[in-house]
Amino acid sequence: MNIILCDNYDDASQKAYKLLLEELKRNSSAVLGLPTGSTPLGLYKFMTDGFSEGDFSYEDIVTFNLDEYAGLSRDDPNSYFKFMMDNLFRALDVKIENINIPSGLGELEENCRIYDKKLEEAGGIDIQILGIGRNGHIGFNEPGTPFELTTHIAELSTHTREDNSRFFTSLDEVPTKAVTLGVKSIMNARKIILIAVGNEKADALYNTIHGPVTLDCPSSILQMHPDITLFLDGAAGSRL
């Protein structure tokens, strides 16, 4: 694991962008795995600003998002589809047909199989960007989720629903399920870039890097990945 301690959130986002851009310039038709949450917003701003300044064209890039809430339509204010359109895709030249986000509506099992098939046809993920939950979840792979799963339906823990309730008007409105790429799909990515900031992530980062590889902390499996770089601020890295 390549661990980069950064001065602050902006520095972590900028350094992550620099590494991502190097990789994209090497492979302008890369398959990019993307997360939601507050953490990637800094990176997404560097990507959109960089695009405006002519850093890179995303016209041949293919994207696969990690997850989507079950029961929310694409235009729901809290859907990850809307989040991605508002915070990234609308400001880039990525082709709409190259954007893949699991559907949280309809027959969810079937949606999972369709998503796996699309990812396989695209040749898998070249560069996976990750955030991390307080309990070490990646995507929506909560503690206890078998490492060998690909796209599946996840039951969200109370912990995760509480953390994400800040985007909703009440905890009751936070969906209890989601469709998520599995740990296996994430581990199959050729390169992983993880960003984590803030005190509340310090335990998860300690367990990710120094803990045993255990289902209790899904992100601990990342120790086994051959090419992962973690960009942390001092608070997230405070227990290392």
- Annotated catalytic residues are 67, 135, 137, 142
Number of residues counted as binding ligand GLP (CB under 6 A): 14
Q: Is 182 in the site for ligand GLP (CB under 6 A)?
A: no
> Which DSSP string corresponds to the chain?
-EEEE-SSHHHHHHHHHHHHHHHHHH-TT-EEEE--SSTTHHHHHHHHHHHHTTS---TT-EEEESEEETT--TTSTT-HHHHHHHHTGGGS---GGGEE----SS-HHHHHHHHHHHHHHTTS-SEEEE---TTS-BTTB-TT--TT--SEEEEPPHHHHHHHGGGSSSGGGS-SEEEE--HHHHHTSSEEEEEE-SGGGHHHHHHHHHS---TTSGGGGGGG-SSEEEEE-TTTTTT-
Q: Is 131 in the site for ligand GLP (CB under 6 A)?
A: yes
Q: Is 135 in the site for ligand GLP (CB under 6 A)?
A: no
CB closer to ligand GLP, 66 vs 94: 66
Q: Is 140 in the site for ligand GLP (CB under 6 A)?
A: yes
Q: Is 42 in the site for ligand GLP (CB under 6 A)?
A: no
Given its phi and psi angles, is residue 198 left (phi above 0), alpha (psi -120 to 50 degrees) or beta? left
Q: Is 139 in the site for ligand GLP (CB under 6 A)?
A: yes
Closest approach, Cβ 39 to ligand GLP, in A, equals 3
Map residues 59-78 to x or -, x wherever contact with ligand GLP holds by CB under 6 A.
-------xx-----------
Q: Is 218 in the site for ligand GLP (CB under 6 A)?
A: no
Closest approach, Cβ 197 to ligand GLP, in A, equals 8
CB closer to ligand GLP, 39 vs 98: 39
Residues β-bridged to residue 228 = 192
**Which has the closest alpha carbon to 58: 46, 43, 42, 47?**
47
CB closer to ligand GLP, 92 vs 196: 196
Q: Is 37 in the site for ligand GLP (CB under 6 A)?
A: yes
Q: Which listed range, 17-25, 36-44, 147-155, 222-230, lies at the site for ligand GLP (CB under 6 A)?
A: 36-44
Closest approach, Cβ 180 to ligand GLP, in A, equals 7
Q: Which listed range, 85-93, 120-128, 131-139, 184-192, lies at the site for ligand GLP (CB under 6 A)?
A: 131-139
Note the residues at the interface with ligand GLP (CB under 6 A).
35-39, 66-67, 131-133, 139-140, 160, 164
